[in-house]
Structure 1
Amino acid sequence: MTAPSTESDAPVALPWGEAETLTLDLPQAWRSTAEVVWPDLTGGIDDYPAALEKALNAPEAGLQVGPGSTVAIVVDDPSRWTPVREALPIIVRRLHELGVRQEDVSISVGVGRHHAVNAEAMRKRVGDAIADAYSCHSPPVDDLSAYVDLGVTPEGVPVRVFRPVAKADLRILIGSVLPHLQAGFGGGYKLIFPGTSHRTTLGALHRQGLSAGQAGRLLGGNADQNPMRQAIRSAARLLGPCLSISHLLGAPGEVLHVAAGHPDAVQDQLAVEARRRLRAPDAAPADLVVAGNNPWPGDPMQSFKVLLQHRAASRPGGVLVGFFWTEADQIDRSFPMPALRAIAASGAVGGWVIRRGLALASDLVSAVGSPSAFMLRWARELVVDRTVLVFAPPLYDRIGPRLGPIRLFADQGQLWQAAADALSRAGVDSPRVRVFPQGGLTYAPEPEPRTSPQPASAV
């Protein structure tokens, strides 16, 4: 059983950046009743190389390769904190011990629709020795000539996979299981579909499940009931053999579990543990929800997913507050700066239009099959019936106090006053408050029966 929820007058401190903390200056009346929800990160691995070697020695993780075999290693992109640099030397050593030649091993980053990984970022991701010795790729998502067409899934998804990955005799996937709004949890075959797939494939995959209700309803769910995950598994049947080396992570540098084997089996195994450790306790929706973006790196657009992961914890008409530690050079990693500035320049009027026009825009792009449909659906669910406030000083400095209907802050006093004003307009004087300091790990799905897996601890 998890620890019961408790309330305290003690200040609430969020992890902030790589090693700092940030104290929330919550009004005293709110602080004394706030519920603080932390993930269960107990029992981390002390010796990761030894744990990985043990996972690779399991019978289900056998490497069926030898002299003349080609191997495509696929790793997740730099927005994740999977221990890729630590894992790769162990994996390539084992391949070479089996007779696989260095020139027959390629490494691809599963970027999907994120920014391409340049040479500097590639070295940081895989390590200098690996970057110098092996062919490393960031798949060009729009260059159809770089992909192999493997057919179409029963769900109607065209399966176009980056050539080095599609043509290899074996694919080794190195990733992590984290909460995902559409796929339930990330990781596994998702590193290929959509990670190393053409834009037409990733667009079709991201449209799976949009008709299942509100965006995020599939968050943390079972793979066998998830339309996107089922379409991914259908696509994987058109490929040859794959081995998954997957992780359950805490903060960067903290590995809770590593497993190796068939991607479906490993994914299902780690998803069970992720639910136990990361799922927030069931509770009545709060008036005010605060979520920090830790341990996500400082990319604010990725951090908005943190608010969506905790949207169901707040009631309609309530207030969602994000605390986004943001690196100045990462602000436009997932969304171009000109577009951010254009939205910011529209001011309050633009926010009004966006809030009321998102439903129509979302329905329109879904009807025409646009790959942007899933992003608009998420945006619609986030802002359509809640006040969204974000503390992110570098983002505020770059684009000002608004991002469409979302208000940005560099001063906590001003932020909490804006939250109090919004709650007062809703007739709430004594709000129920929930705080998720490590919101990049925790998640709050739509309410489920009480027979669901054990949730994360609240202390």
Structure 2
Amino acid sequence: MTTERIAVPWGEDGSLSLELPPDWRIGREAVFEPDLRAAISDYSVALSEALDAPLDGPRLEDRVGPGSKVAIVVDDPSRWTPVREALPIVLARLHGAGVKAEDVSISVGVGRHHAVDDQAMRRRLGDGPAETYACHSPPVDDLSAYEDLGTTARGIPVRVFRPVAQADLRVLIGSVLPHLQAGFGGGYKLIFPGTSHRETLGALHRQGIGRDSDAGRLLGSPSTENPMRQAVNEAAQLLGPCFSISHLIGAPGMIFRACAGRPESVQDALAAEARERFQAPHAPPADVVVVGNNPWPGDPMQSFKALLHHRAASVPGGVTVGLFWTDPAEIDRSMPRTAMRLIAGSGAPGGWAIRRLVPAIERVLMARESSAAFMLRWARELVVDRTVMVYAPPLYERIGGRLGPVRIFADQDALWRAVHRALPKSRRDAPSVRIFPRGGLTYSTGVRNTVDV
């Protein structure tokens, strides 16, 4: 077996050829690609058919009438849901049923991501909807903008953005992709936490990540076994009627299925197909795991999530390599550049401290029920027991060669030399390797234990 030429998607249309060490004999069997067959050729037809035959409930236009107040909730710009294409079809059906434009609001489920300004709102919704309807980017920390709907049996405070909470019907437009904590994204997650106050967001993100549990075990899990998804569904019962329009997607512009109807039914149907298309087959953990961030546009936080999605493919003590194509416009969408530079400026000593302090800080945040606890858990599971290196030339140019314990490279030769040195001496001559070129879609799971609720 000889090393084959392996390329990963890079940018919108390019590719990056991996220049792996010549003594690493890697064949195609080490590479896992998602199933990208059978994309929809005519989206408007597919969506219309889904709306004509919704799952487990009446059609959208049969649920509203003159005087109905409708809140449309769409996912945020970091996702590639076909929001601009879906809105005209959905709005035409609402208005055909007698709903007035002044009774329709559109909110972007940003959660804790960056607020969506006017320009970004137009890009997300299209100029027509952005000008015609009341459009909102919910302020996650302004409690006065939220309706208090009570507390669930799990103790989740349900605080929902007022235009969404007070509507007669909520229409959710999003997509299903693997999610580290909720199993799969989409559905009610557009509201919980997308249009929820930070108190609700924090309480939801603490579900399933008890002190000794492994949050990575939640990735790709069914809704019946996933504490966060169960908590989200319970919160939705305090809200009122919802109608879901969701998608199974690949790269931007690649849609495999559009589905509409009862949110729980739509979510489960698309999650099952996502599992078939994107879950890597079980294999022995590898010494080196290489993950491309495609099709994410380069937001570092989303790119690091791609590494977390493949954590189970790596042996403890192994090396995980991220290949992060980075759009300069996306580089600080989720993590402010000042924060990245602050972490980067701490250099190697800062990385050493982070690796040792993260577990202790996480325990404190969990005890205080902090909304940041889940992010510390993910950081610990990624960097504390593995070496993480990233090839990302634009990120290297902005912040240098370190982001805490993560080393950043702009040169492939230097990257692979560093990987070789980081391996145990007994594994340097013939390390086992697994490669996930489209790591923004694919994911790997270990043996799933009972999760901590």
Indicate whether 1:219 and 2:219 are aligned. Answer: yes
For 1:308-387, what aligned pairs fall within 5 Å after superposition? 308-387=308-387
Q: Is 2:171 aligned against 1:172?
A: yes
Q: Aligned equivalents of 1:83 and 1:290: distance in 2?
A: 29
2:67 is the counterpart of 1:62 = no
Residue in structure 2 matched with residue 144 of structure 1 by the alignment: 143
Once the two structures are TM-superposed, the CA of residue 43 in structure 1 deviates from its matched residue by 1.0
What CA distance in whole angstroms lies between the structure 1 residues aligned with 2:23 and 2:104? 59
Query: CA–CA distance in 1 between the matches of 2:231 and 2:313?
Result: 29
Distance 1:226 1:33 in 2: 36
TM-superposition CA deviations, 1:264-310 (whole Å, max 9, x none): 01001111101111000100000100000001122111110000000
* CA apart distance, 1:32: 2.9
Paired with 2:381 and 2:114, the residues of 1 have a C-alpha distance of: 25
Q: Residue 90 of structure 1 aligns to which amino acid in structure 2?
A: I
| CA-to-aligned-CA distance 1:385-436 (integer Å, 9 cap, x gap) | 1110001111111111001110000111100000011114464320111100
Change (3 A) 1:429 1:332: same
Mapped to 1, the partners of 2:329 and 2:245 lie a distance apart of 31
The CA distance in 1 between the partners of 2:43 and 2:185, in whole Å, is 21
Paired residue type of 2:353: V
User: What's 1:23 paired with?
Assistant: 17
2:3 and 2:26 in contact (8 A); partners too? yes
CA drift of 1:329 comes to 2.5
Partner amino acid, structure 2, of 1:124? R
The structural deviation recorded for 1:61 is 5.0
SS of the aligned residue for 1:319 comes to: strand
Q: Is the 8 A contact 2:24 2:429 kept in 1?
A: no
Aligned residue in 2 for 1:51? 46
Question: How far 1:332 sits from its partner (Å)?
Answer: 1.5
Partner of residue 445, structure 1: 445
Contact kept, 8 Å, 2:23 with 2:429, in 1: the verdict is: no
For 2:397 and 2:350, locate their aligned partners in 1 and report how far apart those are by CA, in whole Å: 19
| Alpha-carbon distance in 2 for matches of 1:77, 1:425 | 45
What SS does the corresponding residue of 2:140 show, helix, strand or coil?
Answer: coil
- Within 5 Å, give how 1:132-281 maps onto structure 2: 132-211=131-210, 213-281=213-281
Q: 1:180 to 1:125 in 2, by over 3 A?
A: same
Please report the TM-score for the alignment, with normalisation by the length of structure 1.
Answer: 0.95
Percent identity of equivalent pairs: 66
Q: Which amino acid is 1:94 matched to?
A: R
Question: 1:30 Cα deviation (Å)?
Answer: 2.2
1:329-385 deviation digits (Å, cap 9, x = unpaired): 322111112211111111111111100111111111011111000000000000111
Report Cα offsets for 1:128-156 as digits up to 9, x if no partner. 11111111110011111111000001111
Instruction: Figure out how many residues of one structure are paired with residues of the other and give that number.
Output: 443
- Take 1:191 and 1:426, find their aligned partners in 2: how far apart are those partners? 47
Q: Secondary structure at the match of 2:216?
A: coil
TM-score normalised by structure 2 residue count: 0.96
The farther-off stretch of 418-427 and 170-179 is: 418-427
Report if aligned partners of 1:309, 1:444 keep a CA contact under 8 Å in 2. yes
**What 5-or-longer segments of structure 2 have no aligned partner?**
none
Confirm or deny that 1:12 pairs with 2:11.
no
Q: State the alpha-carbon separation in 2 of the partners of residues 111 and 87 from structure 1.
A: 19
